[in-house]
């Protein structure tokens, strides 16, 4: 996990460093909040459950560099996000809980001007997210395991300047995570988990 995070940080640093070559650019930081909804397929050798809705509020802290382009902009940014999205399923003597935790990633944004102060944009990037799966049974007790899921994400949004240094952003993204196996030391079952994530956020960006 640390190695994967190091690669993301290095790629982001290179992208931001390349962007600063342009004189028509500005660094920015932002904070946003919204709703996470992860649809997860979960399977064991004996059963398959599709479309588990792991949903709940989330928040995101980001930093990036924006380059002014003819009739638009190009931005490179990195973010770290946290979520309280959770799915709970109770069946008689057992309970299954899937929780979305800390995540981080990088994105490139391509925007075009709608007016002098407002742009619509598309985004592409890569996200890594920690998800915990917990199983509780009356006989064997509780077993929990956390796995890091990575995947490509794409999105669309709109950004509008409130002042020369402050902008409001609405952003929707969809992430296609890889399938990972979740195992437990105290439970014989192995769970194959394949999630797809949607996130809608509203945030404020400050340029400097």
Rg of the chain (C-alpha set): 19
User: How far apart are the two ends of the chain, measured CA to CA in Å?
Assistant: 32
Mean pLDDT of 177-196: 84
Q: What is the pLDDT of residue 21?
A: 42
What's the total number of domains in the chain? 1
Sequence-ordered list of residues with C-beta below 8 angstroms from that of 138, at least 6 positions apart, any chain: 93, 94
Mean pLDDT of 5-25: 50
**Average pLDDT of the chain to the nearest whole number:** 87
Higher pLDDT, 93 or 200: 200
Comparing 10-14, 43-47, 130-134, 188-192, the range with the smallest average pLDDT is 10-14
Bridging pattern class, strands 166-177 and 141-161: antiparallel
Among residues 74, 79, 73, the alpha carbon closest in space to that of 29 is found at 79
Where in the sequence is the domain holding 126, given as residue range(s)?
2-207
Q: Is 7 helix (H, G, I), strand (E, B) or coil?
A: helix
Query: Is a pLDDT exceeding 80 seen at residue 11?
Result: no
Give the confidence band of 51 by pLDDT, cuts at 50, 70, 90. Answer: confident
Mean pLDDT of 43-68: 90
> What is the distance between the alpha carbons of residues 110 and 156, in angstroms, rounded to a whole number?
9
Higher pLDDT, 9 or 49: 49
Query: Is a pLDDT exceeding 90 seen at residue 103?
Result: yes
Higher pLDDT, 26 or 2: 26
Rounded percentage of the chain residues whose pLDDT exceeds 90:
65
**Domain CATH number, residue 39:** 2.40.160.20
Instruction: Give the tens place of pLDDT for each residue, 159-185.
Output: 999 999 999 999 999 999 999 988 877
Task: Say how far residue 171 (Cα) sits from the centre of its chain.
Answer: 12
Q: What is the pLDDT of residue 140?
A: 66
Instruction: Give the tens place of pLDDT for each residue, 108-165.
Output: 999 999 999 999 999 999 999 999 988 887 776 778 889 999 999 999 999 999 999 9
Residues in the chain: 208
Higher pLDDT, 34 or 143: 34
> What is the distance between the alpha carbons of residues 109 and 204, in angstroms, rounded to a whole number?
16
> What is the distance between the alpha carbons of residues 20 and 168, in angstroms, rounded to a whole number?
23
Q: What is the pLDDT of residue 185?
A: 73
Strand segments (E) across 70-117: 72-83, 86-91, 94-113
């Amino acid at each position: 996990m640390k190695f994967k995070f190091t690669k993301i940080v290095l790629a982001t640093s290179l992208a931001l460093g390349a962007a600063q070559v342009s004189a028509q650019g500005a660094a920015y930081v932002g904070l946003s909040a919204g709703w996470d909804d992860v649809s997860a397929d979960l399977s064991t050798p004996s059963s398959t459950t599709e479309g588990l809705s792991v949903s709940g509020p989330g928040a995101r802290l980001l930093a990036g560099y924006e380059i002014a382009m003819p009739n638009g902009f190009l931005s490179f940014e990195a973010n770290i996000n946290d979520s309280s999205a959770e799915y709970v399923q109770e069946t008689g003597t057992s309970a299954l809980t899937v929780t979305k935790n800390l995540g981080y990633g990088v994105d490139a944004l391509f925007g075009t001007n709608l007016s002098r102060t407002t742009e619509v944009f598309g985004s592409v990037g890569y996200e890594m997210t920690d998800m915990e799966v917990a199983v509780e049974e009356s006989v064997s007790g509780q077993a929990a395991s956390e796995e890091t899921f990575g995947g490509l994400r794409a999105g669309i949004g709109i950004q509008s300047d409130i002042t020369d240094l402050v902008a409001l952003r609405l952003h929707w993204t969809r992430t296609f995570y890889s399938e990972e196996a979740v195992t437990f030391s105290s439970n014989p079952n192995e769970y194959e988990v394949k999630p797809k994530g949607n996130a809608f956020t509203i945030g404020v960006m400050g340029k400097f």
